[in-house]
Structure 1
Amino acid sequence: LKSWYIGAFQIPGVAEAALTAQDSLILRRLYTTEPRPPYTSDEVERYVKAFNTPGAAEATVNYYRAALQLGGFFSGFTESAYSVIDKPTLVLWGEDDAYLTTNMADPPTRLVPNCTVVKIPDATHWVMNDASDEVNERLVSFVTS
């Protein structure tokens, strides 16, 4: 299961402790092994510092907690949990994401009828880092169209 960590994040305090333990070792490994190219030492230090700001770790994992409470990620989308988004929507997704499956990029048409999904080959969970030129081009094109 690619998204196993989302289940682990449901236990209050556990995820926050794990992600900040040993000078944020998990975060440091994540940012230096996953993105292509890996983040620089200076970039990693900025992320670690921001993540260790009081309340930041909890706020980060609360995103995943809320998603499951709304019925998202694993149980699928339900009409009662989500409102229809009728505005133009763009999803940029890395096809080599180690944590989320590519089918998660495709929202139900009944909920997001005006959605364009772009799956970028050779990009990971950090698609904006891995394919920054393509991401920027697609964003500029989307917001100016």
Structure 2
Amino acid sequence: MAAPIQDGQFAEVQLGTKLHYATAGTPGAPLMVFVHGFPEAWFEWEAQLAHFGQRWFAVAPDLRGFNRSSKPPEVAAYRPKTLIGDLTGLIRHLGYDSAVVVAHDWGGALAWNLAIQQPQWVRQLIIINSPHPYAFMRALATDPAQQAASAYMNWLRTPGSELGLAKHGFAALEGFFNGMGQPPAPWFEPLRERYQAMWSVPGENGSHSLTGGVNYYRASPLHPPTPADPGPAALNLQPQDWLVKRPTLVIWGERDLALPATLLDGLDALVSPLTIERIPDGGHWVVHEQPERINAAIDAWLTKQA
């Protein structure tokens, strides 16, 4: 039986910053936190909340800048350290000192960094189609194919990109799900009105509804190089500073056009212990495409960890 989902809860995770979140399950049960990406919201994880809430206290927040959470307009409000503080603040607000963290896309970027910088908050890490930051930095700096696949990031970083995303009823945002040479996503249409409503929630201080979301790209040093900005090539990151030492499951839809499976190459040198679950017929949005398969993969891995 699926666990009922409770929406409409808020936590002040840092001074002046509130995250909206939904839950399933009983507080006090082991905590599992689900972290969405761009351009999504907590309801990316509805199938997971209903499933894992039967045994866990399953929680899915809207990240800062999205939906009903705080949406400050300043780029500096979306630096990695600040975003990680939101996650630790949420875990603390819920009355826990650690969690199983499940994350996709930009949520995965936050979760990777949390496990690297503050691993005491992470019992186990589950990543879905989100590259390890050092592996992504390396690919953006040296791989022309990855640079081409990620070229959209530089457009999102430009002033006014949110206006372009909002044109014609958010057609460009819908293209993240239905475009890029892919056929229309059958899972998207039933959720279309919810996404349209979520993308329309105003930002703070009169800012655009989408400014918070695109600020993730503007605040990040990880983007393809340009003539004016060398991007990750100038960072001089060292792999030993980016090690993950928490049990980690990486689930990867191999039809991801923006994040090819080559980003998994050499990952075992950065993450230990590591399990990789490949889904050959899954795309970037595999959480939506195959929710039961995602649940089964997580269940099987967690059972082995017990």
- Whether contact under 8 Å (1:95, 1:119) holds in the other structure is yes
- Displacement of 1:136 after TM fit? 0.7
1:126 deviation in Å?
Answer: 0.4
SS at match of 1:119: strand
Q: Is the 8 A contact 2:254 2:280 kept in 1?
A: yes
Residues 1:35 and 1:81: Cα distance change in structure 2 (over 3 Å): farther
1: CA distance, partners of 2:216 / 2:266: 18
Compare relative contact order (CA 8 Å, sep 6+) and give the higher one, 1 or 2: 1
The answer as to 2:155 corresponding to 1:8 is yes
Distance 1:35 1:115 in 2: 33
Is 1:48 paired with 2:199? no
Q: Max radius of gyration: which structure?
A: 2
Identity of aligned residues (%): 29
With 96-105 and 50-59 compared, the bigger mean Cα shift is at: 50-59
Over 3 Å counting, the alpha-carbon distance change for 1:44 and 1:105 in structure 2 is farther
Aligned equivalent of 1:63 = 216
Q: How far does residue 50 in structure 1 lie from its aligned partner after superposition?
A: 1.0
Structure 2 counterpart of 1:25, which letter?
A
Provide the residue aligned with 2:255 in structure 1. Answer: 96
1:94, 1:122 within 8 Å by CA — same for their partners in 2?
Answer: yes
- Could you tell me which amino acid in structure 2 is paired with residue 7 of structure 1? N
Q: 1:109 to 1:124 in 2, by over 3 A?
A: same
Q: Closer, same or farther in 2 for the Cα pair 1:52/1:134, shift >3 Å?
A: same
- Residues 31 and 39 in structure 1, CA contact (< 8 A), matched pair in contact too: no
Deviation of 1:64 (Å): 3.0
Alignment deviations for residues 76-124 of structure 1 (CA, whole Å, 9 cap, x no partner): 8933896422101122111111222112245643432222222211111
User: What TM-score comes out, normalization by structure 2 length?
Assistant: 0.40
Structure with bigger strand share is 2
User: Please, which moves more after superposition, 102-111 or 132-141?
Assistant: 102-111
Indicate the residue corresponding to 1:128 in structure 2: 287
Cα distance, 1:12–1:30 mapped onto 2, change above 3 Å: same
- How much does 1:43 deviate? 0.2
Distance 1:80 1:91, change over 3 A: closer
Does the 8 Å CA contact 1:128/1:135 hold for their aligned counterparts?
yes
Matching of residues 62-81 of structure 1 within 5 Å: 62-67=215-220, 69=221, 71=222, 75=232, 78-79=237-238
Q: CA deviation at 1:32?
A: 4.2
- Where does the alignment leave 5 or more consecutive residues of structure 2 unmatched? 1-147, 204-208, 226-231
Which residue of structure 2 lines up, in the alignment, with residue 23 of structure 1?
Answer: 169
CA distance in 2, matches of 1:120, 1:82: 29
Query: Is the Cα contact below 8 Å between 1:3 and 1:99 reproduced in 2?
Result: yes
Normalising by the residue count of structure 1, what TM-score does the alignment of the two structures yield? 0.76
Q: Which moves more between the two structures, 108-117 or 94-103?
A: 108-117
How far apart in 1 are the matches of 2:183 and 2:279?
Answer: 14
In 2, Cα distance between the equivalents of 1:135 and 1:129? 9
Structure 1 residues 1-43: Cα deviation after superposition (integer angstroms, max 9, x where no partner): 22221121121332x1121111111223443455885224330
Q: Structure 1: state its 5+ residue gaps.
A: none
Aligned length: 142
